[in-house]
Structure 1
Amino acid sequence: MKEKERRLFFNMFIGSIGLLLIAIVAMGHLVEEFNSGGYLMIVFGFILTMNYINYLEEKAGISKKLTWARASISIVLLFVVSYFLYF
C-alpha cells in the first residue's frame, strides 16, 4: 500500500472515531438534561455529517464500497454504544 493511501485510510479512521465520540457525548448531555427530542436531532445530524464526509472521501479517491461500509459501521456503532451507555 502506498504511503499516501495509508495516510488517507488513517485519517478516515480517526475522523470516524472523532465523529462517533462527539455524537456520544452530545447524547450523554441530552440524557442528563432529560431531552428525548434532541436525540433524533443528533442522530439525523450524525447521518447528514456522514453523508458530507462520504462526499469528501469520494473526492479524495476512496472507493464508494469502502466509504459506505465505514458509514454503515459508524451508524450501527452509534446506535449500539448510545443504547448501552444511556438507555
Structure 2
Amino acid sequence: MDESYKGMYLNMFFGKIGIVLVGLGALRYMVISNDSKGYIILFLGFSLVVSYIYYLEKSWDKQKNNVD
C-alpha cells in the first residue's frame, strides 16, 4: 500500500470519529436543553453531512480504481 493511501485512510478514520463525536455532543446538548425543534434540525443536518461524506468516499474509491 502506498504511503499516500495510508494517510488518506487515516484521515478518513479520524474524520468519521469526529463526525460521531460531534453528533453525540450535539445530541447530548439537545437532551439537556430539551428542544424538540433542535432535534429535527440536528438529525437532518447530521444525516446530510454523513451522506455527503459517503458520496465523497465513493468518488475517491472510483478515482483510486481508475488510477490503479
Structure 1, unaligned runs of 5 or more? 64-87
2:56 corresponds to which letter in structure 1? L
Partner of 2:40: 40
Q: How many residues align?
A: 62
Partner of 1:62: 61
In 2, Cα distance between equivalents of 1:30 and 1:23: 10
Structure 2, unaligned runs of 5 or more? 63-68
Q: Secondary structure at the match of 1:29?
A: helix
Root-mean-square deviation (CA), in Å?
1.7
In 1, Cα distance between equivalents of 2:24 and 2:34: 15
Deviation at 1:29, TM superposition (A): 0.8
- Runs of 4+ in structure 1 deviating by more than 2 angstroms, as ranges, are 54-59
Larger radius of gyration: 2
Q: Secondary structure at the match of 2:61?
A: coil
Larger RCO: Structure 1 or Structure 2 (Cα < 8 Å, ≥ 6 residues apart)?
A: 1
Query: Please, what TM-score do these two structures have when normalized by structure 1?
Result: 0.60
